[in-house]
């Protein structure tokens, strides 16, 4: 009886200490509780992106979107709209000309856009044939967007008004595509090149479909 009592005290102490910084468990628990220093939540990282001012590093993972400011050490989980039931963030595309504008592609939520540096987000999927978005490319010259959709509605979609409306323009590289990037190399045909990392290597195609 006495022994059990002592055991309970010891277990109680362990429980109290494990909830504090005393046992050095703070980063893990902090990540799960309030999303500060949320490294413990990273798994299946898909994307990294830095805003146009070079201040905020965004990280996209199976568990959502995270941000870190000014080369600091602490990560914060970014709140996405409640309708984004499965926030598997596949692509992060900061607007190179406007540090406040960030686009992300999510596995089952399509394209989301923030116009306030990542504080609030809106789904912009009008015209997209599906919501499994694995890449978003932004033309550094005119801000034109290309989104890569997989599975349902597979293909490349273009928007010339910041994602307000998408139009399907190409079948895309097909297969397991990991992203889509506009690269400012002239094709000589009035456009630039799109690059796509894929399961079969790096592919490129002129964007003037």
Partner 1 sequence: MGGLPANRTVNGFAVVDPKIMYVAMRDGLFKSTDAGETWKRTGGELKNLAAVAINPKKPNEVYVATMDGKIYMSADAGMKWKKQQ
Distance between terminal CA atoms of the chain?
80
Which helix H or strand E contains 46, and what residues bound it?
strand 45-50
Instruction: Give the count of residues interacting with partner 1 (CB under 8 A).
Output: 37
Please tell me the distance from the alpha carbon of residue 104 to that of residue 191, in angstroms, as a whole number: 23
Closest distance to partner 1 from the beta carbon of 176 (Å): 7
Q: Which of 7, 16, 202, 208 contacts partner 1 by CB under 8 A?
A: 202
Closest distance to partner 1 from the beta carbon of 149 (Å): 18
From the list 3-11, 45-53, 110-118, 162-170, the region that binds partner 1 by CB under 8 A is 45-53
Instruction: Give the footprint of partner 1 on residues 114-153 (CB under 8 A).
Output: none
Nearer to partner 1, 42 or 209 (CB): 42
Q: Which of 30, 79, 96, 100 contacts partner 1 by CB under 8 A?
A: 96
| Contact flag: residue 59 with partner 1 (CB under 8 A) | yes
- C-alpha dihedral over 119, 120, 125, 126, to 10 degrees? -130
Nearer to partner 1, 54 or 81 (CB): 54
Nearer to partner 1, 46 or 113 (CB): 46
| Contact flag: residue 179 with partner 1 (CB under 8 A) | yes
| Contact flag: residue 43 with partner 1 (CB under 8 A) | yes
| Contact flag: residue 49 with partner 1 (CB under 8 A) | yes
User: Within 13 A of 6's CA, how many CA atoms are on the CB side?
Assistant: 3
Phi-psi region of 49 (alpha: psi -120 to 50; beta: other; left: phi over 0): beta
| Contact flag: residue 50 with partner 1 (CB under 8 A) | yes
Please tell me the distance from the alpha carbon of residue 136 to that of residue 54, in angstroms, as a whole number: 19
| Contact flag: residue 188 with partner 1 (CB under 8 A) | no
Length of the chain: 209
CA–CA distances in Å: residue 202 to residues 16, 127, 176, 177: 51, 27, 11, 9
Q: Which of 7, 9, 48, 119 contacts partner 1 by CB under 8 A?
A: 48
Phi, psi torsion values for 62, nearest 5 degrees: -55, -30
Q: Which residues here bind partner 1, judged by CB under 8 A? A: 39, 42-50, 52-54, 57, 59-61, 71, 73, 94, 96, 176, 178-179, 181, 183-185, 195-202, 204
């Amino acid at each position: 009886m006495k022994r059990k009592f002592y055991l309970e005290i010891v277990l109680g102490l362990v429980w109290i200490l494990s909830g504090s910084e005393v046992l050095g468990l703070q980063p893990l628990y902090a990540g799960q509780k309030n999303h500060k220093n949320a490294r413990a939540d990273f798994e299946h990282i898909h994307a990294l992106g830095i805003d146009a001012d070079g201040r905020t590093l965004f990280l996209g993972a199976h568990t959502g979107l995270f941000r870190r400011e000014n080369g600091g050490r602490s990560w914060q989980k970014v709140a996405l709209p409640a309708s984004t039931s499965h926030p598997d963030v596949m692509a992060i595309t900061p607007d190179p000309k406007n540090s406040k504008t960030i686009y992300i592609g999510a596995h089952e939520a399509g394209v989301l856009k923030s116009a306030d540096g990542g504080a609030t987000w809106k789904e912009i999927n009008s015209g997209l044939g599906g919501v499994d978005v694995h890449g978003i490319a932004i033309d550094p010259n005119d801000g034109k967007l290309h989104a890569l959709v997989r599975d349902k509605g597979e293909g490349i979609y273009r928007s010339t008004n910041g994602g307000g409306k998408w139009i399907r323009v190409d079948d895309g590289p097909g297969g397991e595509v990991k992203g889509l990037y506009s690269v400012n190399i002239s094709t000589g045909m009035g456009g630039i090149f799109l690059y796509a990392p894929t399961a079969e290597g790096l592919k490129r195609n002129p964007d003037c479909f």
